Chains A and B, each alone.
Chain A
Amino acid sequence: MTNQISLIKQTDIIITVASWEERFITGMYGLIDAVTAKSIIMFFYKEYYNWSKDNIEKLKNTCKERGINIISKELSFASSFDTWGMLVNTIQNDIQFRDYITIDISTMPREAIWIICHLLDQKGYKIQYTYHTPNAYPSDWLSRDPGKPRLVYKLAGISKLNKPTTLVILTGFDIERARQLVRYFEPDNLLLGIQTGMQYENLHQNRERHEAGFTRHRGVKYFDIDGYSVNNCLLTLENETRHFKDSNVVISSLGPKLSALALYEFKVKNKDIALSYAPSNEYNHEYSSGYKDRIIGILHE
């Protein structure tokens, strides 16, 4: 991971999702300067408003001081229908045509990332993404109380009749969320992408736990993946799924947030596959600590 700030494109608009995490506010302060933003669309989830409101107010005040227009809109984990409606209306009505738009995916749920990218793509905008890495994740838990997995509106692909289901999961720290997806879809083929590298004690927390946790699943296939590189991730996905084209492929990301973009890229290139979101109803207040670095890139490049 390197700070690629020299590559950043100037864009008028940033789309972000507010969070209580330090990397949200610190990252946004830097990002505003880096892209010379004139306007910010800040979504927030009502279920976590109380945790996030200090950061929301801080960002609003900063924007006010610096003459940056900021629009704040409420989303809901509990109602993907309402969230969809809000995202569609905002992107259709509140954005005048721009060449590039920056989305800050650092604290943006994957479902929102996919829908926002889809809607921006439909309008013909080019998407610059940024991801702010934290200094550390907690050692105990990140999220719990899993909700029912769901296919994402408009991104559920094309399911063929009488074909087996292949589930591809880019795994993360929470093995139970992966299990939840497997229980829900009961796939005929299961492919588990395991993050390479030693970051955040990755090897112990991810690889070993998943390999131990799925020993009883017949025919499970593991593959290494670098979720921190959208392009490498995409290439790996193309390679690992090539033998499963004749099945209904459902794909989900629980690993590094950047892998969600790779999944979206993969989905755009393979219109038949379905994107699935595995929600959690409870996040750790200490979800991450600090702000370490910024990763930037351009989607579809």
Chain B
Amino acid sequence: MINKYINPFEYEPATKLDVEQVIKYYIEDFNYSRFIFSRRNIFLVGERGTGKTMSFLYYSLPVQYLKVANSREKIDLSIISVYIPCNTPLVHRREHELLDNLNASLVSEHFFVVSIMASIVSTLLKIVKLMSQREEIKFRAEMEYILGIELLKDAPTLQALLIALDRANVNAQEALNSDNKETIYKLISFSSGLRPLLSSLSRIPKLKNSHYSLMIDDAQLLNQYQISALNSWIAYRDNELFSFKIATTRVEAPSLLTSSGGNILEGHDFTKIEMEQPYQNKLSSFGKLARQIITRRLKTIGINNSPEEFFPINQQFIEDIESAEKQAKLEAQEKYKNGTTKQIDDYVYKYKRAIYFRDRSKRANLPPYTGFELLIHLSTGVIRNLLDPPYHMFDRMYSEMHAANGGGTVIVDKIPPNIQDEIIKERSKIKWEWIKNDLDNTIEGCSREEAQRVYRLMDNLAILFKKRLLANISEPRAVVFTISGYEQVKHSELDKILLLSRKAQMLYVFTSSAKDSGKRETYYMPNRILWPQRGLDAQGQHARVSIMADHLLNSIKSNTEIPFKGDEQDDEPNLFDQTD
């Protein structure tokens, strides 16, 4: 019996969740996140809402501790995962900009190292009976020698170490705040603090085989000196004792330069995991992940319905699609006289939804948007996008039921199709209005003119995709595009608009192999929540549309429609075709 209002589709930042919620909500499968629990250097790359922080928090020692406590297993200390957030006021300090390069570098490294050391020590405080008295005396002596300070005698060693680190942190900040250039502060570096700390810890019997997985969240916020220091530590590739797991956005991804001017290399120094997933059908990894997420969330409020039962599809839509399928079959049989079953099935699969949308367009109203599978497609492969419409649907449903029964107990065990449809269209409309009216009030470095250009880009893509959907062409439902004829200098204005669209998370970018040449190619996927408002099929498909850079440029500058040449357009099936 649920009396209290709990919206299971809450999607606030993971740092707002308590430890129990992290355990309850986190899904370990279908997202490569187990790589985090390894001894390799890993980069997690993805925009906000793709689950980077949640993955880190889940594998952090305090969460793992609670998890095994619940299951009465024994904690595995072979890998100790330490969560290190970078979105802190300390990281946001900017006084290094007022210093010469050497001092800027030293003080930046100091703050970063002290933060990491404090996170390690705080994490270790969770381990019960970490050291015997004798071991603690030895560890204390080592730390005092390493840091050149006397730890507080009255405090347990780890607590005393935390206090000392905080003192070192405060001293450096006070020196920076002061205008006394002669102020002396003792700075701690990777070599003088972090590395020796880890070595000392490895001499504690309980930790002698432990590896430290240092999970740096929001690394794009670190300053240039901290980034190059971090890259230098990665370049050591000393993965016996420690490794780094680095979460960063793609749009503002930090440089890969080391302090000595070299580069760290993917595959050689680190492994990269893309957190945004390009394929969103129900059989894809993201589809499976989405199913587990929704199922798990429903269970937290005592609902055992499947996602399909919780988000039923509009009955009329089912019937109309069945009718469109019959029509597609007739067309296929007409086209492939004596064709194979596969030929017929492929045709039906490809065209039945297009036929449905073409017929709907004649009636000039928007089709219903319902069902769990549609929600997966609307997410465009981003977990936060997946949870947004259900969050609002649940709230609406709860409000209606609560009001209807006079404020009594409410159990939401499904969202009727009409509410799903209404909310999806509403969320879609809000996104369009946001792009049109508020982008320049929201996205850093976006002027009014540029906001208008982003709107024009999305608007003209919607127009192109609509024309394609209604036309008798081979790939009518393509909602992914590539750019051809691109020249760096000539198209710099286009670049800026694409970047701002990505910052606004209205456009996602993937790289994949082109089918013909095997060359890596960049694919652009607009956020599919935009399509319901335009009557497009958010379920996407199949092909990418190749658009000339000049045409995109014209669309953003002079609001010129992107030319549609029917089947002459350079569109082709590709990897998306095989998996979406």
Contact = CB atoms under 8 A, between A and B. Distances in A.
B315 interface: no
Contacts of A145: 440-441, 445-448
B442 A282 contact: no
Nearest to A119: B179
Given A144-B440, A157-B89, A162-B118, A186 B447 contact: no
A118 to B, nearest CB: 10
Contact of A274 (B89, B176, B442): B89
Nearest to A156: B93
B12 interface: yes
B453 to A, nearest CB: 13
Interface bin, chain A? 35 or more
Nearest to B446: A145
B331 interface: no
A148 interface: yes
Given A156-B92, A274-B89, A180 B442 contact: yes
Contacts of A84: 98
Contact of B179 (A81, A122, A176): A122
B177 interface: yes
B95 interface: yes
A258 B15 CA distance: 34
A158 B87 contact: no
A160 B166 contact: yes
Given A161-B162, A186-B13, A147 B98 contact: no
A154 B95 contact: yes
- Interface range on chain B (Cβ under 8 Å from partner): 35 or more
Interface string B433-451: 0000010111111111000
B76 interface: no
A247 B320 CA distance: 58
A57 B445 CA distance: 31
A186 B98 contact: no
A153 B94 contact: yes
A151 B93 contact: yes
B92 A151 contact: yes
A216 B441 CA distance: 19
Contacts of B444: 146-148, 180
Interface string B288-312: 0000000000000000000000000
A150 B89 CA distance: 10
B88 interface: yes
Contacts of A180: 442, 444
B95 A156 contact: yes
A255 B224 CA distance: 33
A209 to B, nearest CB: 12
B461 interface: no
Nearest to B118: A161
A146 B89 CA distance: 20
Interface in A79-136: 80-81, 84, 122
Contacts of A160: 166, 169-170
A179 interface: yes
Interface of A: 80-81, 84, 122, 141, 144-148, 150-151, 153-162, 165, 174, 176-177, 179-180, 185-186, 188, 216-218, 248, 250, 271, 274, 276, 281-282
Given A145-B440, A146-B441, A276-B92, 10 more contacts: A147-B444, A150-B92, A153-B95, A156-B93, A156-B177, A158-B173, A158-B174, A160-B166, A218-B16, A248-B90
Interface of B: 12-13, 15-16, 87-90, 92-95, 97-98, 114-115, 118-119, 122, 162, 165-166, 169-170, 173-174, 176-177, 179, 438, 440-448
29 contacts: A84-B98, A144-B440, A145-B440, A145-B447, A145-B448, A151-B94, A153-B94, A153-B95, A153-B98, A154-B95, A154-B179, A156-B89, A156-B92, A157-B89, A158-B170, A159-B173, A161-B90, A161-B114, A161-B162, A161-B165, A161-B169, A162-B122, A176-B438, A179-B442, A180-B442, A185-B89, A186-B13, A186-B87, A248-B89
